[in-house]
Amino acid sequence: MADSFDLGEPPQPVKAEAYRVLARKYRPQTFAELIGQDAMVTTLGNAIARDRLAHAFLMTGVRGVGKTSTARLIAKALNCIGPDGQGGPTIDPCGVCEPCRAIAEGRHIDVIEMDAASHTGVDDVREIIDASRYAAVSARFKIYIVDEVHMLSKNAFNALLKTLEEPPAHVKFLFATTEVNKVPITVLSRCQRFDLRRIPADKLAKHFAEVCEKEGVAAESEALALIARAAEGSARDGLSILDQAIAHAGLEGGGVTADAVRQMLGLSDRGAVRDLFAMLLAGDSAGALGSLRRQYDYGVDPVAVLRALLETVHGVTLSKVGGTDDLAQAVEERAARTDWAANLSFPALHRLWQLLLKGHDEVAHAALPIEAAEMALLRVIHASSLPDPGELARRLAGAPEAAPTQAPAPVPAAPPPPASLVPADFAALVDALDGGGQLALAARLRHGARLVRYAPPEIVFSGSRPIATDTLAELAAALKCMTKQVWKLSLDDVPGEPTLNERQLAADAAERQAMLDTPLVRAALAAFPGAELEWPNQRSTA
């Protein structure tokens, strides 16, 4: 009989491990890996060490800052038993014991995760309430993690309240939400709340550099800084962008470059933005439009150009007030902003901000974005030569002009300063306000103000015809801007003089009557019975 041989199972091909995106691969597994949330980690560590654990925790913050990851870490911290199986709750879970590994892999029977976006009803919450009565099967605590808890219905929240306030000792609730304002106050008051902060751009860039090193990918520091800023404080968003940038780099081995990231994200080149901003300040219309068109031809969204200009104005303003430099910015960028801050006044910066912000909103909703962007830049250039309100008031009052804050069109030389900035009388003061663009204020004073005393820097008005308090406040501000003095404005309960309008009408009437009294006009009226004198100067000063 022939011998039979058992050759066993044929060799199986090695199954390639499925690729995991960076946001999942580098999800924090310990509190030490949770970046940017030091205050929360300290609080939790102290609570665990002192055995002062709340029965419900609420994590809130923008997307991708680690809310769900934190909930899982808390679950591990509370249920960790250590490598030897004898450990207790700890802020540094071992990661090797069975509870730690099961929770990290999402298979622990006593750690139940529920997405409130797809389980919004009262029946879903009732299942949690009923199951919470039973003790944990193998863990120290039975933990319920409810993601996007604000999506629960009103009835579901109401059903949860009693159990949430007095849960069994073996149950912990961990809630996560991006919209904490939608969570009822009755739920918030029963939870220990942690507001997870946006992660600073410098910490994100450092984290991305570590990820690139682990992945064996070369990346320029400027590229990582661009990704960190685009992430807007979200580690998950940043890792997703980094994943895309690595794929965009391809197999050539060039790594992740700043130019490639700008092209991928549709960002304006910072050098081009600096050049464009300088052209706006110099009033170079043709150069500014040409620069905008070049960026548009490269594929840059016009909205992104306006956004970059807004960021520049904001950075210059922060530099002017002595803010801390953004170390993620290039040296050339910081030097340019410092130079502009020294030469631009706050009114000029505020005006630039408002003009660019208006332009950004227009371009974002325009049917013709590039054309709207060009018109917005032209408006900025042409408005740059206009004086600010304070300078305009000084000009109208005859004050010397302030030094130019920008380099637009040349401004005519100012007249020599007068002996005083204070108008000679009340009528001259109202005329100065009218000429300075304060038309509504001047009209209210002409028609409603009865003067008692004009003794600069003090004005007393009659209280028999009161002036609104907001009018007095507006007048005080205008006078301070015009004369560089603080004025005292008050009311006195006396009749006061007629208003300027009443005085003007009376003067017109007296002039007309004097004309009627002349022999020539009397003779003409007598010769033509029924004739009337047309009086072109009869007017109101409204």
pLDDT per residue as tens digits for the range 494-529: 888 888 888 888 888 888 788 777 887 777 777 777
Q: Quote the pLDDT of residue 482.
A: 82
The b-or-e profile of 460-474 (16+ CB within 10 A means b, else e) is: bbbbeeebeeebbeb
- Asked which of 265, 288, 313 is the last residue of a domain, the reply is 265
Query: What pairs with residue 387 in β-bridges?
Result: none
Q: What is the pLDDT of residue 541?
A: 38
The CATH number given to whatever domain includes residue 467 is: 3.30.70
Specify the 3-state DSSP secondary structure of 491: strand
- pLDDT-derived band at 143 (thresholds 50, 70, 90) equals very high
Q: Whole-angstrom Cα distance, residue 295 to residue 278?
A: 16
Q: Tell me how far apart the alpha carbons of residues 322 and 318 are, in angstroms, rounded to a whole number.
A: 6
The pLDDT assigned to 66 comes to 86
Residues 168 and 314 in one domain: no
Predicted pLDDT at 361: 93
Residue pair 226/267 in contact (Cβ under 8 Å)? The answer is: yes
Domain boundary residue, one of 332, 357, 383: 383
314, part of any domain: yes
pLDDT of residue 144: 93
**What is the domain extent for residue 141?**
22-195
Residue 529 lies in a domain: no
28 and 171 fall within a common domain: yes
Interval 164-221: pLDDT, tens: 888 888 999 999 998 899 999 999 999 999 988 888 888 899 999 999 998 888 888 8
| Torsion from C-alpha of 312, 315, 316, 317, nearest 10 degrees | 120
Q: Say if 334 falls within a structural domain.
A: yes
Q: Under a CB-based contact definition with an 8 Å cutoff, are residues 135 and 128 in contact?
A: no
* 403 domain-assigned: no
Predicted pLDDT of residue 289:
92
**Domain edge (last residue) among 265, 290, 316:** 265
Structure tokens given for 116: 């409130």
Q: Is 10 exposed, middle or buried (0-12, 13-18, 19+ CB in 10 A)?
A: exposed
What is the spatial distance between Cα 96 and Cα 112, in angstroms, rounded to a whole number?
A: 20
Q: How much is the pLDDT for 413?
A: 42
Question: What single string gives the DSSP state of each residue in 342-396?
Answer: HH--HHHHHHHHHHHHHHHHHHHT-SSHHHHHHHHHHHHHHHTTSPPHHHHHHHH
Specify whether 217 is located in the same domain as 185.
no
Interhelix angle 469-483/426-435, rounded to 10 degrees, is 80
- Is residue 244 located within the same domain as residue 300? no
The predicted pLDDT at position 260 comes to 82
Q: Which residue has the higher pLDDT, 501 or 357?
A: 357
- For 136-161, b where at least 16 C-beta lie within 10 A, e where not — what string? beebbbbbbbbbbbbbbeeebbebbe
341 within some domain? yes
Q: Residue 469: its pLDDT value, please? A: 65
Query: In what order do the strands lie in the sheet containing 488-492?
Result: 451-455, 458-462, 488-492
Determine, yes or no, domain membership for 14: no
Task: Check pLDDT > 70 for residue 4.
Answer: no
Strand 458-462 versus strand 451-455 pairing type? antiparallel
Instruction: Provide the domain count of the chain.
Output: 4
Percent share of the chain, pLDDT over 90: 15
The mean pLDDT of the chain is 81
The pLDDT of residue 339: 87
Instruction: Judge whether residue 35 has pLDDT over 80.
Output: yes
- Token pair 């099967």 is found at 137
Q: What is the CATH number of the domain that holds 245?
A: 1.10.8.60
pLDDT value for 534: 67
State pTM to two decimals.
0.58
CA-nearest of 18, 41, 17 to 28 is 41
**Token pair in block for residue 122:** 């009262």
Examine residue 33 and state whether it is found in any structural domain, yes or no: yes
Peptide bond preceding 457 in cis form (omega within 30 of 0): yes
Residue 449: is its pLDDT beyond 70? yes
Evaluate whether 125 touches 112 at the Cβ level (below 8 Å): no
pLDDT in tens, 320-343: 887 666 655 666 777 888 888 888
Are residue 317 and residue 373 in the same domain, yes or no? yes
Question: Residue 507: inside a domain, yes or no?
Answer: no
Do 116 and 178 lie in a common domain?
Answer: yes
Answer for the pair 212, 220: CB distance below 8 angstroms, yes or no.
Answer: no
pLDDT tens digits, 97-137: 999 999 988 889 999 999 888 888 888 888 888 888 888 88
Same domain? For 155 and 241 the reply is no
- 108: domain CATH number is 3.40.50.300
Whether residue 126 is found in the same domain as residue 233? no
pLDDT for the residue numbered 415: 42
Task: Single out the residue of 441, 443, 459 nearest to residue 451, CA to CA.
Answer: 459
CA-based max dimension of the chain: 160
What pLDDT is recorded for position 416?
Answer: 37
Half-sphere exposure of 425 (CA within 13 A, CB side): 4
Average pLDDT over residues 371-376: 93
CATH number of the domain within which 375 lies: 1.20.272.10
Same domain for 47 and 131?
Answer: yes
With 60 as the cut, is the pLDDT of residue 7 above it?
Answer: no
Q: Are strands 142-147 and 111-115 parallel, antiparallel or unpaired?
A: parallel
The better pLDDT of the pair 463, 144 is held by 144
Q: To which residue do tokens 């992104």 refer?
A: 304
Higher pLDDT, residue 525 or 317: 317
Q: Of 205, 212, 261, 256, give the one whose Cα is nearest residue 233.
A: 205
Same domain, 31 and 168: yes
**Co-location of 336 and 244 in the same domain:** no
What pLDDT band is residue 386 in, cutting at 50, 70 and 90? low
Say if residue 106 is in the same domain as residue 176: yes
